[in-house]
């Protein structure tokens, strides 16, 4: 069952010219969601993973379900100011300006192997920042995992340039 067929495309959202890939249609489909998580579980069951880190917000959905099935802990990576305890953060550049992501300082221990998960990789800025954040407190990135890759936007290449392994379940051409 191809999951790509269960992902909705919304033209010109959030701005003119953008083709938004919406996984909510995949998530509401019980078969599609199960197949998505099962494919990821099958990929990562044999690997040594200590934590799954999910990027806000849709990365929480996929990442938490995957962590549960793998029997490992889940680490939320959030936008600035959203976590209640002591945090560590990483600033990164956006098209116009900068942003910051954070996680709890005790979310990952030295040497722990972390699988980074999000719904989609586009330009790769947020994922790259998340990798640097995890590594800054001693974690090791096993792989960066996405439901969707938009290869024309260069995110996969950006992460691979920094020697990160990247996996996605499907690709969409364009942006």
Per-residue pLDDT tens over the stretch 12-61: 998 898 899 999 999 999 999 999 999 999 999 998 999 999 999 999 99
8-24: string of b/e by CB count within 10 Å (b at 16+)?
Answer: eeeeeeeeeeeeebbbe
Q: Which two tokens stand for residue 54?
A: 């999910």
Over range 122-145, report the average pLDDT: 97
Active site residue 95: yes
Domains of the chain, each with CATH number or no CATH: 48-171 (3.40.50.2020)
pLDDT at 90 over 90: yes
pTM for this structure? 0.95
Q: Which residue has the tokens 């909510």?
A: 24
Active site residue 128: no
Task: Give me the catalytic one of 58, 112, 128, 143.
Answer: 58
């Amino acid at each position: 069952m191809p999951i790509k067929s269960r992902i909705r495309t919304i033209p010109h959202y959030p701005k003119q010219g953008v083709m938004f890939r919406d996984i909510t249609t995949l998530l509401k489909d019980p078969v599609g969601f199960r197949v998505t998580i099962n494919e990821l579980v099958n990929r990562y069951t044999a690997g040594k993973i200590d934590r799954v880190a999910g990027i806000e917000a849709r990365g929480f959905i996929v990442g938490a379900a995957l962590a549960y099935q793998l029997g490992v802990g889940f680490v939320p990576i959030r936008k600035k100011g959203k976590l209640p305890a002591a945090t560590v953060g990483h600033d990164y550049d956006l098209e116009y300006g900068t942003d910051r992501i954070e996680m709890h300082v005790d979310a990952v221990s030295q040497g722990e192997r972390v699988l980074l998960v999000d719904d989609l990789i586009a330009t790769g800025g947020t994922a790259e920042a998340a990798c640097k954040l995890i590594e800054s407190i001693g974690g090791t990135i096993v792989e960066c995992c996405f439901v969707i890759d938009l290869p024309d936007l260069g995110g996969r290449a950006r992460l691979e340039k920094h020697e990160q392994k990247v996996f996605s379940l499907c690709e969409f051409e364009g942006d």
